[in-house]
Amino acid sequence: ERGGNNSFTHEALTLKYKLDNQFELVFVVGFQKILTLTYVDKLIDDVHKEFRDKYRNEFQQKGTLGLLNGTFDFKDDFMRLLRDAEESSKVRAPTVMKTFEQSLKSQKTVKCMIETRGEKPKEKVKNKKNKGSKKEGPEAVAVPGKASAGDKQPSAAGEREELTKDEILQKNREEFFKRHMKAGEKSSKSPKPEAQKEKGKKPRVWDLGNSNAKVLDYSNSATNGSAEACPVEEFDPDIALGDRNREPGRLYDLEYESDDEAEEEKVIQNPSKPSAKKGGLGGMFGMLKGLVGSKSLTREDMDPVLEKMKDHLIAKNVAAEIAVQLCESVAKKLEGKVMGTFTTVTSTVKQALQEALVQILQPQRRVDVLRDVMDAQRHRRPYVVTFCGVNGVGKSTNLAKISFWLIENGFSVLIAACDTFRAGAVEQLRTHTRRLNALHPPESHGGRTMVQLYEKGYGKDAAGIAMEAISYARNQGFDVVLVDTAGRMQDNAPLMTALAKLIAVNAPDLVLFVGEALVGNEAVDQLVKFNKALADHSMAQTPRLIDGIVLTKFDTIDDKVGAAISMTYITSKPIVFVGTGQTYCDLRSLNAKAVVAALMKA
């Protein structure tokens, strides 16, 4: 799935490789990383062609393993190819500059280079003539109008000279009133509009709104906003929880109904007349190449299909750069591969792409939060999670959802309000804490408060507040600390430095990047720069980077799920949680097959 990147660095070595899919071979060249060898690509291509052509018959008779397990002599050929590649890369002598006699300027005569004052070059005169000829039409039409106006002007001027100033003013007034009277008559002849509807606004009633208006009336409140004296809100738990039939504490997978079964591809018998079925998978991967018939795939066979595939991925919100790399990796994976008799190029390429996308979305290291929290419990310390991301992606809202999920699994949560910049950030978390405590009161958990807010107001050092919150959680026996940070743009160097300091000082167990599913190319820029800032501003030998992703607003994008691919491809980190709505239960785990099914839908 990452075949577009044909190099790999391991300690002091760099490895470059090339695939031969026809005979299932991998050619690898290794060299020291500090060397800049310009001939490596040429060498590996030459070795690939020479080796394949020399032993083609043996491969077909004995098979690849039969040849490689036996004996073969390729050393002399390799040394010859290496010498040729080195010779080709040697620095050539700089090219000699042309003499004056060899230049075009020497072929010009002195006469053609002399310009007389006032005389314009012939080419410019011609161009101006052409431009003038174009203007002759409209000017010819406008001239008579101007002439007639010019004829009237002297007579009008003569009349005005005979009239006095008062008479001129009176005449101008009469003309002004006549014009307005005519405009009024025209408007009166226009059809009368329908009778206007009753004026006045009616208050809109929302289906999920709080019908208790007294809760929103703070006019006579004497508490002055203090958290302790605030009355407990009366609200319907169904509104906050959504689905009441769910299993408490369970994190459900994303669901998506695929139409692949109903939309089977049709094999085209006549490849000279390909048909593109609009709206179906044929429209997405049009230009079928027909039956391949036991021959090896070439790049020319796949290029039209790959071009359609790339456009489709970009339309589904996959970043353009990553869509190109994905198509390149699929091409390298399939080039030279022998196809079956009843297989089309389109179906083969589509199948390869689906497999690559599923592998990208399935993490190399699975993040199991519940297991890690229980491990931290055994060591009698809180499990610390830090949330970071750009402005307005839903960090605080999804932090509250994750708090609810942890509480339902029996873990106590301390929320650290480290967003000391945005107005209302602390109050937002205080409201979430109050609601979560109403849903899970201490009486239901043996008198134990399941969620609490640790805040020090605004304008304070976020790293210091996080450190104090972790220390408080350790002393009070909280299981999990969720650190909320201020939203910041990836280009803001001072704020990125502050975030790197917070992570370096407090060493959280999990750093989650919160990104919204609506973004396309911006997802790559955000993640690359967040990781780069954390690496640049960290003082540790091995800097702490992003460990996982929270993908929010997934319910707003229909089947344009490309942001999930972009984020996981660029970081190789898993999507731990997916936000799918506004209630506390709208939290899901990523289902790779469901996302790929939505992505491949036409």
Q: In CATH, what number is assigned to the domain containing residue 67? A: 3.30.450.60
CB-based burial, 55-75: b 16+ in 10 Å, e otherwise: beeebeeeebeebeeeeeeee
In a domain, 267, yes or no: no
In a domain, 114, yes or no: no
Domain final position from 315, 330, 361: 361
In a domain, 151, yes or no: no
Same domain assignment for residues 452 and 581: yes
**Which pLDDT value is given to residue 484?**
94
State yes or no: pLDDT of 277 exceeds 70: no
Same domain assignment for residues 511 and 388: yes
Domain that holds residue 20: 7-90
Same domain assignment for residues 518 and 418: yes
pLDDT tens, residue by residue, 400-442: 999 999 999 999 999 999 998 888 999 999 999 999 999 999 8
Same domain assignment for residues 455 and 572: yes
- Closest-CA residue to 386 (of 408, 353, 341, 419): 419
Can you tell me the mean pLDDT for 4-31? 81
Quickly state the pLDDT bin for 552 (edges 50, 70, 90).
Answer: very high
Provide, rounded to the nearest whole percent, the portion of the chain with pLDDT above 70: 71
Tell me the C-alpha distance between 88 and 84, whole Å. 6
Same domain assignment for residues 305 and 450: no
**Which pLDDT value is given to residue 48?**
86
Same domain assignment for residues 522 and 436: yes
**Which pLDDT value is given to residue 133?**
46
Residue 455, CA atoms < 13 Å, CB-side half-sphere: 22
Tell me the C-alpha distance between 346 and 304, whole Å. 10
Tell me the C-alpha distance between 228 and 510, whole Å. 32
Number of domains in the chain: 3
Same domain assignment for residues 357 and 390: no
Same domain assignment for residues 473 and 376: yes
Can you tell me the mean pLDDT for 581-595? 88
Contact 403, 502 (CB under 8 A): no
pLDDT tens, residue by residue, 149-180: 444 444 444 444 456 777 787 788 788 877 77
In a domain, 430, yes or no: yes
**Which pLDDT value is given to residue 201?**
64
State yes or no: pLDDT of 219 exceeds 50: no
Beta-carbon contacts of residue 579 (< 8 Å; ≥ 6 apart): 394, 397, 398, 401, 550, 551, 552, 553, 554, 555, 586, 587, 588
Domain final position from 90, 106, 131: 90
**Which pLDDT value is given to residue 539?**
72
Contact 517, 552 (CB under 8 A): yes
State yes or no: pLDDT of 226 exceeds 90: no
Tell me the C-alpha distance between 104 and 472, whole Å. 83
Same domain assignment for residues 562 and 442: yes
- Closest-CA residue to 268 (of 252, 254, 282): 282
Angle at 480 between CA 500 and CA 399, to 5 degrees: 65
Q: Tell the burial category of 281 from Cβ atoms under 10 Å away from its Cβ (0-12, 13-18, 19+).
A: buried
Contact 564, 595 (CB under 8 A): yes
Q: How high does pLDDT run on average in the chain? A: 76
**Which pLDDT value is given to residue 383?**
95
Write the DSSP symbol of residue 459: S
Same domain assignment for residues 354 and 396: no
In a domain, 388, yes or no: yes
Tokens of 131: 């431009």
**Which pLDDT value is given to residue 3?**
57
CA dihedral sign, ordered 118, 119, 125, 129: positive
Domain final position from 341, 361, 381: 361
Tokens of 214: 């007294």
Whole-prediction pTM value?
Answer: 0.62
Same domain assignment for residues 338 and 457: no
Across the strands, what pairs with 383?
Answer: 480
Greatest mean pLDDT among 147-156, 181-190, 240-249 lies in 240-249
